[in-house]
Chains A and B, each alone.
Chain A
Amino acid sequence: MLTVTEKIIFIVLTVACLGASFFTFTKMFRVIGLGKDPIDWKKVAQNWKVGVDTFISQKTLFKTRPVVGFIHALVAWGFSLYLFVNIIDVLYGLIPNFKFLPNHFLGDIYRISVDIFSVLVLLGVIYFLARRFVLKDKRLQISAPVMISNSALKGMRFDSLLVGSFILVHVGSRFLSASFEIAGSHSDWSQPAANLVSKIWIGMDHDTILVMEHITWWLALGLILLFLPYFPYSKHAHLFMGPINIMAAEKRKSMATLEKIDFEDDNIEQFGAAQIQHLPQAQLLDGYACIQCSRCQDACPAYETGKELSPSALEINKRYFFNENLDILAKGESVDKALTDWMLTEEAAWSCTTCGYCVEVCPVGNEPMVDILRARQDLVMMESKFPEEAMETFEKMENYGNPWGLSPQDREAWMDGYGVPLMREKKKVDVLYWAGCSGAYDNRGKEISQSVADILNKAEIDYGCLGNEEMCTGDSARRIGNEYLFQTMAEQNRETFDQYEFKKIVTQCPHCFSTLKNDYAEMGIELDVVHHSQFIDELIQENKIEPQPWVDEDVTFHDPCYLGRHNNEYDAPRSVLQSVLREGKIKEMEKAKSESFCCGAGGGNMWYEIKTGERINQNRVKQAVSTKANTVAAACNFCNIMLEDGVKTTQNEENIKVLDIAEMVSQSLSE
């Protein structure tokens, strides 16, 4: 089809643009190489199936926003089909009279799918552009008071417009080109849409149609070539970087369980991340994988309540920081700027409740929460810069072994009259019941502990409590970034565990649960830990207890982050709850299970308060109230405290009450 001159121009352009693109890509990978903990590219390559599977199935897109996810899938599938189409079209341009399997049913299938997908991609992209620029979907925007760099703000709009228009013009021209080809030859039933459009060109003279065919061919394929050098700079690079990022995912015991820091290693001079080069390579890759969809901030408790944090802004800032400093970073030099000056503010870092929503929903496997945890480690251990109340918490944990700062001698006070056996007397048991600090000191927590003890007694479990020998697991310390304090506490608890024999630990607090199960395993302390919801559920299944249903009013269940997202347990607490319902039903909140909304206490936020914006617990209580349920059931001491406070401070005491599932079960067991 093409003339000789056109062919030469095309080939020269192809080589030049591919070269430029490749050059930028190598730079990007050198930027990634600046990080610590090198990515094992061999392993990543071996993981190819995961990447291909994610790309083809588009399954990570459907975790939230299913409609948009579906449209994205259409665009993605259509676009990949277009990679093949482009090759065929290039051959068509270069080889005279080339047609792909003209009289073969495979050729027909090819043409018909290209035709249909062209229309779908066009509609999809028009929708996406309209959503961003006309409808101005709030979910794509990052609102104040989040810090977002100027280059990111400008770049985001420009990038979206450019990428959107590129797809529009590329696919559109290709589609028109097909219609001109049909108009120039004869109608083609295997390209119904193009066939239809070709009717418009009836009456055009043959030469004009030929010129139009050339123009649209160049618009479709020449544009691809011109876009290639820009491609790596744009967020469109997520097409490769997304799947690669998923393939390169770091394996963690749970989403907030970072690797153990070896404090004996004198070679480590930097703990946590102060600057970009202190982040692991896999997390630098996150910046390139991000497509700026901002799904991560949809139910981010900090962002939704108007705080300075947006996990999306974090990754976007990262990306534009790379773009701005590409040449310096690619040389392997660092830029002397603190993460808290450009990636997220210090207050944003402290606003994170480590609820894990951002990590859970990210379609390309980014982990903004982990960046935050690493930034906190630096702020705490290197710079001693953190909320003042957190300092008091550390000191209380150091001095009294619990974040409440109450006497370690008072840990057994809740046991009075509940016949709770103690490990120091029994020495050997089946089940070690870990009441936790809140279960020992907080008034509501104590009642929950008493309920659990009641259930254990009635199920005739051979169990024991550590009582005054128990000590905080160090959860809050670890999430706030005080790894050193966490390890000190873990070591002390290890010594206590070593004195006794037990098969299993039952906890009522998901924070204790996750920390003992995952973070202690990271420390080399292997324990079999279950949450009370799982244990009680087991007791019911095995008929060791028989709850008498008594709840006649509707109940909504608030998923604790460290039970749900962090440990994938959504069913056990619901099953337990079901066992006590008589007339009442479970009414789910809009944000439930893996999309649940944090109570506001996680990540150490229990101990300090970020005053910007609305209070998270009040927001969550309003969500619970809107279900019209009369009870919000919780399965975490922190959640219980936060929700109860939220109920009181939003004047909802008449509308809803907060109960732990253990309390509901205990109440259902006859004497």
Chain B
Amino acid sequence: MKIAVLVKQVPGSESALPLNNYQNWIEESSVTFVMNPPDNYALEEALLIKERLDEGEVVIVSMGPDRVQKVIREGLAKGADRGIHIKESPEIVKDPLLIAKSFTTVLKEENFDLVLSGLQSDDTGMGQTGVLIGEMLGASTATLAIETRLEGDHIKVKRELEAGWFQWVQLPLPASISIQSGLNTPRYPSLKGIMGAKKKVIKCISSDLASKQAQTIDKIFIPQTSKQTEVIEADVDVAVSRIVEILKSEIKVF
């Protein structure tokens, strides 16, 4: 069983996020980057599948500038076997179609049985990469997996639907599956893992698709907050009924 886990490096949820001068992305120099949390669950799921089968290979594939090697190493420390770093300028990381194309080129050569990715990245949150890759690889695809069961040459995936509904789907391998957060408890690397990771191989592949970018970000901004105060000046009965109405129709507490 050969499993690829797509891991993205994203700004940490508590990191400072200053806007850059063009106001089309953040100023990255003062940002704390971490492993995209949903991808962490995908990685754990891959490691669990490998451990259950007691055979196989888990490969971390990440795209971005040199700094992403940090999250690849993190994955290797947790137990992945090797890493692939697709060197790409940061700009491309905002166009899901290009991202998928770039990944697909690499993934095709490797012939993975399973491609796992987090359901979305915590920065742009487009949630398309896993699906697009599945399509481009001609593999079966499922999204929002909250449980996986590998059975011979197919995989059963429990999917989370709306309103508390679940669904089991069965897919033939190879498959590309995007993983919902919280389905497992990601591990902390043991020291042996950390030490071992230093000796594991990260293959660097350059790719330059930036010029072909179809989708760009025009502007990002911090939501403007504004205060609205309504003063209710009326006698008690009228005031109370107005407040109840606000609670009901505007704040919707009932």
Q: A residues near B, CB below 8 A?
A: 263, 271, 380-384, 386, 388, 391, 394-396, 399-400, 405-410, 484
6 A-B Cβ contacts within 8 A? A384-B190, A384-B193, A388-B185, A399-B12, A407-B15, A408-B32
A386: B residues at CB distance < 8 A: 188
B189: A residues at CB distance < 8 A: 384
The answer on a CB contact under 8 Å between A409 and B191 is: no
Q: Measured between C-beta atoms, what is the minimum distance from B40 to chain A in Å? A: 10
**Per-position binary interface string of chain B over residues 21-37, scored 1 when its CB falls under 8 Å from any chain A CB and 0 otherwise:** 00000000010101000
- From B15, B30, B187, A400 is in contact (CB under 8 Å) with B15
B-side interface residues, number (CB < 8 Å): 17
The answer on a CB contact under 8 Å between B32 and A383 is: no
Interface presence of B227 (CB below 8 A):
no
The answer on a CB contact under 8 Å between A484 and B194 is: yes
A395: B residues at CB distance < 8 A: 34, 188
- From B34, B192, B193, B195, A399 is in contact (CB under 8 Å) with B34
The answer on a CB contact under 8 Å between B194 and A400 is: no
The answer on a CB contact under 8 Å between A382 and B191 is: yes
Interface presence of B218 (CB below 8 A):
no
Instruction: Tell me the dominant secondary structure on chain B's binding face.
Output: loop
Give Cα A612 to B185, complex, Å.
23
Q: Which residue of A lies closest to B189 (CB)?
A: A384
The answer on a CB contact under 8 Å between A400 and B192 is: no
Interface presence of B16 (CB below 8 A):
yes
Interface presence of B237 (CB below 8 A):
no
The answer on a CB contact under 8 Å between B190 and A383 is: yes
Instruction: Known A408-B32, A409-B30; judge A271-B16 contact (CB<8 A).
Output: no
A384: B residues at CB distance < 8 A: 187-190, 193
Interface presence of B151 (CB below 8 A):
no
Interface presence of B153 (CB below 8 A):
no
The answer on a CB contact under 8 Å between A400 and B190 is: no
Q: Measured between C-beta atoms, what is the minimum distance from A493 to chain B in Å? A: 17
B34: A residues at CB distance < 8 A: 395, 399
Instruction: Known A388-B185, A399-B32; judge A405-B190 contact (CB<8 A).
Output: no
- From B12, B185, B191, A381 is in contact (CB under 8 Å) with B191
Interface presence of B54 (CB below 8 A):
no
B187: A residues at CB distance < 8 A: 384
Interface presence of B14 (CB below 8 A):
yes
- From B12, B185, B192, A382 is in contact (CB under 8 Å) with B192
**Per-position binary interface string of chain B over residues 162-191, scored 1 when its CB falls under 8 Å from any chain A CB and 0 otherwise:** 000000000000000000000001011111
Instruction: Known A405-B14, A406-B14, A407-B14; judge A400-B188 contact (CB<8 A).
Output: no
B185: A residues at CB distance < 8 A: 388
Q: Which residue of A lies closest to B12 (CB)?
A: A399
The answer on a CB contact under 8 Å between A394 and B16 is: no
Q: Measured between C-beta atoms, what is the minimum distance from B68 to chain A in Å? A: 15
Give Cα A624 to B36, complex, Å.
46
Give Cα A380 to B15, complex, Å.
26
